[in-house]
Amino acid sequence: MFFLFLSEINSYLFSAPLRQASIEPFEEDRRMRLDLNISLFKVPCDALAMDYEDSMGSHYFAYTLKVLRLDYQGQILNPHQAQDFRIEESTKTEKTNCGSCYGAELHEGQCCNTCDEVIDAYARKGWNPPDKRLVDQCRRKLFSGTYIGGGGCQIFGHLTVKEVPGAVHISLNPLGQMLFATGGDIDFSHSLNHLQARDPDSLDTAPESPATTPLDHTSAYGHTHYLYYLKLTSARSTHDERFWEAAGHSRSHLSHAIPTLYIQYEIDPITMKYRYTTSFGGFLISLFAILGGSFACSTFLAKIILT
C-alpha cells in the first residue's frame, strides 16, 4: 500500500499535461508580440533601417526598439546609453535652396537638399547609388562626423503586430547603401541573440513554453542575404495562459548586392491546449481505491488461509 500510495502521489504531482489540438476562429483585433535581439558586428547603427509588413498589407501597431553601439570585437560600448530606433524614418525639411539630384530628377524642379534625398532619387530611377565623392550633400554628411562610426550595432526590443503571417526586414538606409557601394567595410555578419513570439498581455513565459526558441544564438558571417523562417503554433497552458511554440530554420546565399536580413514567420491555424487528465477528486478516488482494494485482497487471502 505504501508504494502504491507513493506511485499515485507522484503521478498526480509530476505527470506531464496532455496536448490537445483545436482550431480557434480568426479574430481581427488579436495581437501578438515579437521580441527581437540581434547584434550586427560591422554595420553602424546610423546606417541601418528596419521595416515590417504582414500578409494583410498593414504595418505594426506599436514598437519599442532600441540600439546599442558595439566595438570591433562585438562588445557593447555604453550599455547604459541605449538610443531609440525608428522603424520608418522620414525627415521633412524646409527647402530654401534647391539642391541637384545629379540627373535623377523625376520631374522638373525636383530638389535634393540632403544625401538621403539624392540616394532615394537614384533608387526610384532604378540606378545604383552614386559615388559619395561626387555628391556634395553626401560629402558634407559623411565628413561631418554625424553618421560615421566604427564597430557595429545591437538592436533589441519588441513589436506589437497582428496575429497573421508577416516579416521583419533589416537592411541599409540610403547612407548605408552609399557606404556599401563605395567600398565601405560593411557586411551583415551578425548573431541572432533572441527571437520569440508571445502574447502581449503575458509578462512572463508560460511554464510549458521553452526558455529559448530554435533560432536563438544563431550566428552568420559574410556579405550575404539571410532569411530566418519561424513556424509558430499558438498554445494555451494548463492555466489558460497563451503562448507560442516555434520551429524554425535559416538559410543564406552569397550576393554582391546590398546585404539584407529577413525574419519571416508563418502561423499555424491549429492551437495546442495543455490539459491534465487527472483532477484532485480523481486523485482521492484512486487513494481510496488502493485502500479498499488492499483491504478486500487481505480479507480474501485470510479466508483462504483460515479455511
Distance CA 20, CA 230 (A): 22
Q: What would the mean pLDDT of 179-206 be, rounded to a whole number?
A: 76
Residue 95 confidence class, pLDDT cut points 50, 70, 90: very low
Higher pLDDT, 260 or 223: 260
Whether the model clears a pTM of 0.75, i.e. scores above it, the answer is: no
Q: Which long-range contacts (CB under 8 A, 24 or more apart) does 198-204 make?
A: 198/32, 198/33, 198/35, 198/243, 198/244, 199/32, 199/33, 199/241, 199/242, 199/243, 199/244, 200/31, 200/32, 200/33, 200/160, 202/241, 202/242, 202/243
Distance CA 174, CA 80 (A): 28
Q: What would the mean pLDDT of 189-214 be, rounded to a whole number?
A: 72
CA angle 160, 166, 171 (to 5 degrees): 90
Contact 55, 166 (CB under 8 A): yes
